[in-house]
């Protein structure tokens, strides 16, 4: 039986994007099964008393984050375009991710959102832009956006976020292999070593 790797992420996290680009290779090499767990990173930060790296109060640390981001882009060799207005409030996007999972269109949704936001730098925080991206991907944008406002979908996102925090998450991406937690895109090699 394939081992199950849980991937807790938020589309607003560039390191979640980097991690996501590495998962197909990990799956191919190890045969693991990845469970995609959309959570609200802002909710995690609020729960644990943290903040976005973009809001880091230590100026030197904030500047270094930008350096590390450039290094990561070069290391992973993936398309990257910093989106306007980042960091953004991803609440609507993450709710819609849960709606897409329920509707059985998550794979197409996931690819469309990551490509638009981090590979193309589109302003997906703008609801009109977000809906346009979904339509261009052949997804039922209006139906997904409507579903994202349903109480049970809102509850599902909140529950997933709370679960991540209860299990020890403090940022994104966070992985769980059984109950062992790994934080950050750069921990994927550690995960792979365990899986092989």
Give mean pLDDT, residues 65-83. Answer: 94
**Cβ-contact 164, 37 below 8 angstroms:** yes
pLDDT of 62 reads 83
Least Cα distance to 144 among 184, 178, 97, 108 occurs for 97
Distance, in Å, from the CA atom of 53 to the CA atom of 4, rounded to the nearest integer, reads 29
pLDDT band at 63 (very low <50, low <70, confident <90, very high): confident
Give mean pLDDT, residues 43-55. Answer: 88
CATH of the domain at 50: 3.40.30.10
DSSP 77-124: T----PPTT-S---HHHHHHHHHHHHHT-HHHHHHHHHIIIIIS---T
Q: Is residue 131 predicted with pLDDT exceeding 80? A: yes
Q: If DSSP codes are grouped into helix, strand and coil, which group holds residue 51?
A: coil
pLDDT band at 57 (very low <50, low <70, confident <90, very high): confident
Find the helix packing angle between 14-30 and 188-195, rounded to 10°.
20
Backbone φ/ψ region at 178: left (φ over 0), alpha (ψ -120 to 50), beta = left
b/e sequence 31-57, b meaning 16+ C-beta within 10 Å: ebebeebbbbbbbbbebeeeeebeeee
Distance, in Å, from the CA atom of 174 to the CA atom of 166, rounded to the nearest integer, reads 12
Q: From the centroid of its chain, how far is CA 160? A: 13
Number of domains in the chain: 1
Question: What is the domain extent for residue 122?
Answer: 4-195
Averaged pLDDT of the chain: 96
Could you report the per-residue pLDDT of 82-95, keeping only the tens digit for each?
999 899 999 999 99
Dig out the tokens for 27 from the structure: 């799956």
Q: Is residue 54 predicted with pLDDT exceeding 90? A: no
Distance, in Å, from the CA atom of 181 to the CA atom of 95, rounded to the nearest integer, reads 24
Q: From the centroid of its chain, how far is CA 56? A: 20
């Amino acid at each position: 039986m394939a081992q199950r790797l849980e991937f807790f992420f938020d589309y607003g996290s560039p390191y979640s994007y980097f991690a996501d680009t590495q998962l197909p290779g990990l799956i191919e090499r190890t045969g693991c099964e990845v469970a995609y767990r959309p959570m609200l990173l802002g909710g995690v930060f609020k729960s644990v008393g943290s903040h976005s790296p973009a809001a880091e109060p230590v100026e030197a640390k904030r500047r270094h984050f930008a350096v590390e981001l450039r290094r990561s882009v070069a290391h992973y060799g993936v398309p990257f375009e910093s989106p306007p207005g980042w960091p953004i409030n991803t609440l609507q996007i993450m709710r819609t991710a849960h709606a897409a999972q329920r509707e059985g269109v998550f794979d197409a949704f996931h690819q469309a959102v990551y490509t638009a936001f981090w590979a193309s730098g589109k302003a997906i925080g703008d609801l009109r832009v977000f809906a346009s991206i979904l339509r261009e991907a052949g997804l039922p944008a209006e139906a997904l956006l409507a579903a994202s406002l349903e109480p049970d979908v809102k509850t599902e996102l909140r529950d997933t976020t709370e679960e991540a925090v209860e299990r020890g998450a403090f940022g994104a991406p966070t992985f769980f292999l059984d109950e062992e937690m790994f934080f950050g895109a750069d921990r994927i090699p550690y995960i792979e070593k365990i899986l092989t």
